[in-house]
Amino acid sequence: MNKQLIKTSKFLSLVLRHKPEAIGITLDRQGWVRIDVLLKAMQENGRAIKRSTLEEIVETNDKKRFAISTDGLSIRANQGHSLDVELDYAPKKPPAHLYHGTATRFLGSIFKEGLTKQNRHHVHMTENRETAKQVGSRYGKVVLLLIDAQRMFDDGHIFYLAENNVWLCDAVPNQYLSEDKGG
């Protein structure tokens, strides 16, 4: 993805996950906005893009952050919202273990309080160590946490799987966490 597409993708993440009011749009309860409304608002706010550019961003985003509705009329962010939206994911049984990348400076509070969703709707986890490392490296010296997802699930915790293969849950209590020493 070229620099301009990355810049536009980051702006779309801001608008579709956190601040739709930045360009004067409103998301519905499931986080969708009509594409024609989004494109018009972006143009009116000095960020005009073509529909083909929007589609290219959706198709080429390495984290699959966005989805276009099956009828092709609307778009939303797949997860990571700080807004009150209902993504309507069905509960799903997770794999035995999941990973979460974070910075070493957060370990003390994480092992005390567990993983919390902070200002987002869910805690984000992955089946892939490399993905977890990439995410965690954004915040400092990275450490991988191993989540005993099977035990959590057996104990009644609910998991969801977003369209972009990010696993979601409300919280990960500290008793299900350990530092991953495997890689």
Q: How confident is residue 1, by pLDDT bands cut at 50, 70 and 90?
A: low
Distance, CA of 128 to CA of 137 (rounded, Å) = 14
Q: What is the CA radius of gyration of the chain?
A: 18
Per-residue pLDDT of 68-105, as tens digits, reads 999 999 999 987 777 877 777 889 999 999 999 999 99
Measured from the Cβ of residue 168, the count of other Cβ atoms closer than 10 Å reads: 22
pLDDT, position 156: 96
Q: Which two tokens stand for residue 153?
A: 């699930």
CB-based contacts of 132, cutoff 8 Å, min separation 6 = 99, 100, 101, 125, 126, 144, 145
Distance, CA of 2 to CA of 53 (rounded, Å) = 12
Whether 88 maps to a domain, the answer reads: no
Looking at the fold, whether 66 and 103 belong to one and the same domain comes out as: no
Q: Which residues are 57's β-sheet partners?
A: none
Residue 117 has pLDDT above 70, yes or no: yes
Identify the domain containing residue 23 by its residue range: 3-77
Work out the mean pLDDT of the chain and round it to a whole number: 91
The helix (H) or strand (E) run that includes residue 59 is helix 51-60
Residue 63 has pLDDT above 80, yes or no: no
Q: How many domains is the chain partitioned into structurally?
A: 2
Which of 19, 47, 77 terminates a domain? The answer is 77
Per-residue pLDDT of 136-172, as tens digits, reads 888 889 999 999 999 999 999 999 998 778 899 999 9
Q: What is the DSSP string of 157-179?
A: ---EE-TTS-EEESEE-GGGEEE
Q: What is the mean pLDDT of residues 164-181?
A: 93
pTM beyond 0.85: the answer is no
pLDDT, position 9: 93
Q: What is the mean pLDDT of residues 33-58?
A: 96
Looking at the fold, whether 108 and 169 belong to one and the same domain comes out as: yes
Per-residue pLDDT of 17-27, as tens digits, reads 999 999 999 99
pLDDT, position 155: 97
Q: Given the DSSP bridges, would you call strands 115-116 and 123-125 parallel, antiparallel or unpaired?
A: unpaired
Whether 91 maps to a domain, the answer reads: no
Q: Which residues are 98's β-sheet partners?
A: 147
Residue 106 has pLDDT above 90, yes or no: yes
pLDDT, position 45: 95
Distance, CA of 95 to CA of 162 (rounded, Å) = 14
Looking at the fold, whether 138 and 72 belong to one and the same domain comes out as: no
